[in-house]
């Protein structure tokens, strides 16, 4: 049983701020924005260069538009911090030719034709094979070709070329090279960013913005002090069981909630190692923790049936209620996730499209952006939209701060060989008003004064009801695919 959510083709503009001047900062800004195009496809799941990302509201995917080959072919890829391979769909892939598969997995969003590229070369036939925790995957050849993102040209990047796939778009895996799917290790995109002197070290920052934002940004080689609040605090990345670094695992020391009246409830009994994974839609914590939260909120766990946890939409009336995630101990960073990022008003639309919701003790039905797990503990997009995250692969560090949502200003700082800088963002949250589907329009101001370590106003934004224009089709089966294809099965 699976959930198949609608995917939309990205409409993306990349902005390059790096120049050929060797003295200029090496930062590659890549923007992403939510598409408003209707797309009948179904999708299973979920210097500084800047790349724009496309926010797929219903499925949680964030898409970067890149080019591959010579002459360049445009391809839209899911940005995934939970895996390490870049792979693209072959124009002759089974999914792209089979109507039966398309009815189940969705139409291919964008593909690559190796016969049309003069710089294409094959590395190894039939050796690319990748599987994700939601059961989806792809297989084919490993190839090399020119890869361009955010104005940066990466020469001879090794990529998977999927000839067989149950995913209708490729992925941009930007994790540790040690986590590539190949049996033979190879330098992945983050390695080549550094090796080809495009960025100083293997580091980038991720700003997803809020659930209804049109745009967000990933900065390869830099960070933006206008996109976060207060002090950027550093947490060590934890090694895996073999002592290697293969995922962005950090210690979650506490998960509490803060109610409108200031009441704080702690749901953590011990530190939990969690993975920061942009390729995962929801947030997954241990069952024991999740069940305590479900009881407190009167939520109904139907993940074994429809794949959703149901919760009363009335919780959205608690405008200042937050879920507070603290990392690395009592002095570590705290990220406050507003109630409207965790309680998702999407079930009514699913019902209209045929979802058979079980009998529930409440009529105003929403879905919960947090679920229990026994295998992987993942902080996906329902968490990451509230955080500004800096990933330093070279020094094995993560920088975290409260995201300054709906920010329209930018002040980019290069991440040099010394690692994540001691940086402070704005003093408080921008107060912004949005019209769903029309982009961001700030109706307030944010202080440019750095140094404040408060995260006041984490939920002090005016956000309307979601626009469901991008919600196209949902299968009448399970919604288990919300986990997303982000984390690779080892």
Q: pLDDT digits over 257-267, tens only?
A: 999 889 999 99
35 pLDDT more than 80: no
Query: Residue 217, class by beta-carbon neighbours within 10 Å (0-12 exposed, 13-18 middle, 19+ buried)?
Result: buried
Could you tell me the pLDDT band of residue 50, with boundaries at 50, 70 and 90?
low
Q: How far apart are CA 56 and CA 35, in angstroms?
A: 7
Is the pLDDT higher at 163 or at 447? Answer: 163
For 32, 99, 166, the CA distances from 40, given in Å and listed in that order, are 21, 13, 16
- Give the three-class secondary structure for 464: coil
pLDDT confidence of 4, banded at 50, 70, 90? very low
Catalytic residues: 80, 277
At residue 355, does pLDDT exceed 80? yes
How far is CA 48 from its chain centroid?
19
Distance of alpha carbon 7 from alpha carbon 35, whole angstroms: 9
Residue 421 CA to residue 441 CA, distance in Å, equals 30
Closest CA to 485 of 185, 105, 50: 105
Answer yes or no: is pLDDT of 434 > 60: no
Cα–Cα distance, 136 to 430 (Å, whole number) = 39
Mean per-residue pLDDT for 356-384? 94
Residue 45 has pLDDT above 60, yes or no: no
pLDDT recorded at residue 22: 44
Q: Is the pLDDT of residue 162 over 80?
A: yes
Segment 217-245 shows an average pLDDT of 96
Q: What are the structural domains of the chain?
A: 4-204 (2.40.70.10), 225-483 (2.40.70.10)
- Scanning 66-225, the segments in alpha helix (DSSP H) are 94-97, 99-105, 189-195
Q: Read off the DSSP letter of residue 132.
A: B
Angle 260-264-265 from CA coordinates, rounded to 5° = 120
Q: Mean pLDDT, the chain, as a whole number?
A: 81
Given a cut of 60, whether residue 420 has pLDDT beyond it is yes
* Sequence-distant (≥ 6) Cβ neighbours of residue 98 within 8 angstroms: none
For residue 431, the model assigns a pLDDT of: 64
Cross-strand pairs, 310: 300, 367
In the structure, what pLDDT confidence band is assigned to residue 90 with cuts at 50, 70 and 90?
very high
Reported as a single tens digit per residue, the pLDDT across 175-184 is 999 999 999 9
Average of pLDDT values for 450-458? 34
Distances (CA, A) of 385 to 250, 282, 365, 368: 17, 11, 23, 15
Mean local confidence (pLDDT), 345-353: 85
DSSP bridge partners of 269: none
Mean pLDDT to the nearest integer, 233-246: 95
Higher pLDDT among residues 489 and 175, named by residue: 175
**Rg for the chain (alpha carbons), in Å?**
21
Q: Return the ∠ at Cα 52 (arms to 185 and 65), rounded to 5°.
A: 60
Q: What pLDDT is recorded for position 376?
A: 85
Asked if residues 425 and 228 have their Cβ atoms less than 8 Å apart, the reply is yes
CA angle, 384 as apex, 378 and 199 as ends, to 5°? Answer: 100
Span of 14-18, 79-83, 131-135 with lowest mean pLDDT: 14-18
Q: What is the pTM of this model?
A: 0.82
């Amino acid at each position: 049983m699976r959930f198949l959510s609608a995917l939309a083709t990205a409409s993306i503009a990349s902005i390059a701020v790096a120049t050929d001047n060797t003295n200029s900062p090496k930062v590659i800004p890549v923007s992403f924005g939510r598409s408003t195009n209707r797309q009948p496809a179904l999708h299973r799941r979920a210097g500084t260069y800047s790349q724009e990302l496309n926010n797929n509201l219903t499925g949680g995917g964030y898409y970067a538009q890149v080019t591959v080959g010579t002459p360049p072919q445009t391809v839209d890829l899911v940005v995934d911090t939970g895996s390490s391979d870049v792979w693209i769909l072959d124009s002759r892939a089974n999914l792209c030719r089979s109507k039966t598969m398309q009815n189940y997995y969705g139409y291919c969003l964008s593909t690559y034709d190796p016969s049309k590229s003069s710089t294409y070369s094959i590395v190894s036939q039939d050796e690319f094979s990748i599987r994700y925790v939601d059961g989806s995957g792809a297989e084919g050849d490993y190839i090399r070709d020119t890869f361009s993102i955010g104005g940066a040209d990466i020469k001879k990047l090794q990529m998977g070329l999927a000839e067989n796939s149950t995913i209708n778009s490729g992925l941009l895996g930007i994790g540790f090279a040690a986590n590539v799917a190949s049996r033979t290790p190879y330098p992945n995109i983050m390695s080549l960013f550094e090796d080809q002197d495009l960025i100083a070290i293997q580091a980038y920052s991720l700003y997803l913005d809020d659930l209804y934002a049109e745009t967000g940004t990933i900065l390869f080689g830099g960070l933006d002090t206008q996109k976060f609040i207060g002090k950027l605090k550093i947490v060590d990345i934890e090694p895996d069981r073999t002592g290697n670094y293969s995922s962005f695992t950090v210690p979650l020391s506490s998960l509490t909630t803060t109610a409108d009246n200031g009441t704080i409830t702690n749901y953590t009994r011990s530190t939990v190692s969690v993975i920061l994974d942009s390729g995962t839609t929801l947030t997954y914590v241990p069952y024991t923790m999740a069940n305590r939260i479900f009881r407190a909120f009167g939520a109904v766990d139907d993940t074994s049936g429809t794949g959703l946890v149901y919760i009363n939409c009335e919780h959205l009336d608690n405008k200042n209620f937050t879920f507070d995630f603290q990392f690395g101990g009592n002095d570590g960073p705290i990220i406050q996730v507003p109630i409207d990022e965790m309680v998702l008003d999407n079930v009514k639309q699913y019902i209209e499209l045929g979802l058979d919701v079980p009998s529930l003790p409440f009529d105003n039905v929403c879905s919960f952006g947090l679920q229990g797990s026994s295998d992987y503990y993942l902080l996906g997009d329902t968490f990451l939209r509230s955080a500004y995250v800096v990933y330093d692969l070279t020094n094995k560090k993560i920088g975290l701060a409260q995201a300054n949502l709906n920010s329209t200003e930018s002040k980019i700082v290069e991440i040099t060989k010394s690692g994540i800088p001691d940086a402070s963002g704005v003093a408080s949250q921008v107060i912004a008003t949005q019209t769903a589907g029309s982009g961001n329009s700030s109706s307030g101001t944010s202080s440019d004064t750095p140094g404040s370590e408060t995260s006041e106003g984490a939920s002090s934004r005016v956000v309307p009801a979601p626009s469901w224009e991008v919600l196209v089709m949902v299968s009448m089966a399970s919604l288990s695919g919300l986990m997303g294809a982000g984390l690779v099965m080892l």
